[in-house]
Amino acid sequence: MMRLVLQLALRNIWRQRRRNGLVLFAIVVSIGGVFVMNSLARGMEQDFLTFSIENLRGHIKILAPNQLDEPGLRYSIPAESDWSLFNRPEIEAWTPRLRSPAVIMSERETRGIEVVGIDPSRETHSFIENLVIEGQSISDSTDQHLLIGRDLAEELKTGIGRRLVVLMNGPDDIAIESGFRVRGIFDSTTTRYEEAYVLTGLSSLQTLTGVDGFTEISLHLDDLDQIIKVQPLLATQLPELDVVNWEALDPFTSEMYRFIDFTVYILIVVFLGTLVFGLINALVTAVLVRIKEFGMLRVVGMKSRLVVMQVVIECVIIMFLALVIGLVVGLLFVWWIGDGIDLTAFAAGVEAFGMSARMVPHIVVEDFVILGVASVILGLIASYFPARRVIKTSILQSLRDG
């Protein structure tokens, strides 16, 4: 019996292929469109996140006391502490740093910056990992040279091999002034890094400032969702330090992230909602032109249940077909966009905003599944209306109409 209904459904779909083709096309475009927009939104979201995390934040940061209110060298995390608590599967990498606001001077100009002492071998997840460097990078923790950004170098009118003077507040509020030689100049994706950070070796900065420790430790987890689990754990184990996550450190990006997350679902709901109205309309018209035929089927002994099933199956087949094609088209389109749509022409300055100038699509499997399941459910809901129309029309009425 199922076979019979399926056969009738398939043949009828084929018979009304022009009409059904149009319906199919409309659904394919909607689903493909939602999919592409969704992956672009997800890409943007990813962009915001990466930008925020790699900006020396990490997922979780452990800060010396008072750093949040008054960054500087007054308080620090003792270097010789026991860090075995970071030996957890969720923690992919961790890196200690010594950071202080400072003034940097060339013979010509003066700028306010932040000196950051790093252990370059451990900076595997920050922007430092991906710098394009002219000259040489910081070789190791004991390196006494400076690595500065291109923009800063231009503002200070300095270059490789030249000397710069750095002035900062020491741990006991006595000013420290020291000369450094520039060893390398970096270009990064954003001018923000280039103007803000001046990098040198961690232990050489410790020696210079007399701080035997770090101002922060930045942690990179293997998954964003692990923050909820790891952060409170570390907080209880390090009661005298501040354990904060990237969202607390960067509320703006965090808000953007949540907003896009929300928008993505709104997008799906709005699009599929509109789609379902159009779909119901098209399907109802499609059965109305066949109402006489349905009447005849019922006259000769086809049960209402089977007639309904036929209508529902027709709708679901079209919906499913459209879903598959729509997702494939969407995927192909995303693949075609590949490494992004270049927005530099339209959006000068978006970089400072925490966005890159390329819109790179990013596919989230979960959204893929939600879209698929929602479409099939909507197809079922939509098919209810034409099916009801067929059943609610009496047999004789059906025979007269059409």
Partner 1 sequence: MSEFAVQTTDVTRIYGSETVPVYALRGVSLTVENGEFVSIVGPSGSGKSTLLHVIGGLERPTEGEVEVGDTTLGECSDSELTDVRLYKMGFVFQAYNLIPVLSAVENVEFILQLQGISKEERRERAQEALSAFGLEDLFDRRPGEMSGGQQQRVAIARAVVSNPDVLLADEPSANLDSETTKEFCEYLQQANEERGVTILTATHDPLVMGYTKRHIQLVDGQIAA
Nearest distance in Å: CB 288, partner 1: 15
Nearest distance in Å: CB 20, partner 1: 13
Nearest distance in Å: CB 392, partner 1: 13
Nearest distance in Å: CB 277, partner 1: 28
- Closer to partner 1 at the Cβ: 2 or 228? 2
Helix (H, G, I), strand (E, B) or coil at 165: strand
Q: At what angle do helices 291-299 and 251-288 cross, to 10 degrees?
A: 60
- Closer to partner 1 at the Cβ: 92 or 293? 293
- Closer to partner 1 at the Cβ: 299 or 377? 299
Nearest distance in Å: CB 4, partner 1: 5
- Closer to partner 1 at the Cβ: 19 or 122? 19
Report the C-alpha gap between 221 and 49 in whole angstroms.
13
Annotate 302-326 with b (16+ C-beta within 10 A) or e (fewer): beeebbbbbbbbbbbbbbeebbebb
- Return residues touching partner 1 (CB under 8 A): 1, 4, 8, 11-12, 14-15, 292-293, 296-304, 306, 394-396, 399, 402
Report the C-alpha gap between 114 and 394 in whole angstroms.
81
- Closer to partner 1 at the Cβ: 306 or 350? 306
- Closer to partner 1 at the Cβ: 203 or 304? 304
Report the C-alpha gap between 364 and 361 in whole angstroms.
10
Nearest distance in Å: CB 28, partner 1: 24
Annotate 40-66 with b (16+ C-beta within 10 A) or e (fewer): bbbbbbbbbbebbbbbbbbbbbbbbee
Nearest distance in Å: CB 380, partner 1: 23
Other CB atoms within 10 Å distance of the CB of residue 182: 23
- Closer to partner 1 at the Cβ: 209 or 398? 398
Report the C-alpha gap between 72 and 211 in whole angstroms.
11
Instruction: Please give the structure tokens belonging to residue 213.
Output: 């420790």
